[in-house]
A and B are shown apart, each in its own frame.
Chain A
């Protein structure tokens, strides 16, 4: 039973490029959460999605960031025109219900912007 799978594990982009981060939730989970961990900081919530729906995106930066969780395939966090301040670890979590307990985390994608 595979856990939450994130890829790539490491991603290097130059300023102005696009970054696409993928997250496959645990089998049977239909709720996905994205968190960002900036250097020397705690994890900050970004967005909560269910299949084909964005439920809460209150933690997403207003520009350049978008997320989706299509009916088929992984959830995608997309960052357009990356800047150095986007360098961080991005974690995905999944759960089988809405109420937080038993959110399972992936190993994260570490984005470095040159």
Chain B
């Protein structure tokens, strides 16, 4: 059974700081890994999708890496802004017989002005 863990559960940083969010998964047989952002009372916004054959993906100030063999991914946010405050969710799609995303519990990020 796939389990996804995110550390830390909450993080508070001053504006401008670079930060790293961590995600680990127990079953390395994944098809892809996806990072989402969730704002309070809102739905999920996909940030980055990494295929299992890829090592990283970048979008603007965001960079996600994937080490499939060790079951780890990181989301790097450069020059954080108050608008980055949200919950960040990591999710994996299994390689075989999969029909769903397995989510971690998220990291709640607060960027203080």
Contacts A101-B49, A101-B93; A106 near B43 (Cβ below 8 A) = yes
- B-contact 0/1 string along A84-114, CB 8 Å cutoff: 0000000101000011111111111010000
Stretch of B68-76, B78-86, B95-103 at the chain-chain interface: B95-103
Number of residues of chain A lying within 8 A (CB) of chain B: 26
Across-interface contacts of B51 in A (CB, < 8 A): 101
Contacts of B42 in A (CB 8 A): 107-108
B49 near A102: Cβ-Cβ < 8 Å = yes
Name B's interface SS: strand
Which B residue sits closest to A106, measured CB to CB?
B43
Q: Which residues of B contact A (CB under 8 A)?
A: 4, 31-32, 36, 41-46, 49, 51, 89, 91, 93, 98-106
A residues in contact (CB < 8 Å) with B: 4, 33, 35, 41-45, 48, 55-56, 59, 91, 93, 98-108, 110
Q: Give me 24 A-to-B residue pairs in the complex whose CB atoms sit less than 8 angstroms apart, sorted by A's number.
A: A4-B43, A35-B101, A42-B89, A42-B105, A42-B106, A43-B91, A45-B101, A48-B99, A59-B100, A93-B101, A99-B98, A100-B32, A100-B98, A101-B93, A103-B46, A104-B46, A105-B36, A105-B43, A105-B44, A105-B46, A106-B43, A107-B43, A108-B42, A110-B41
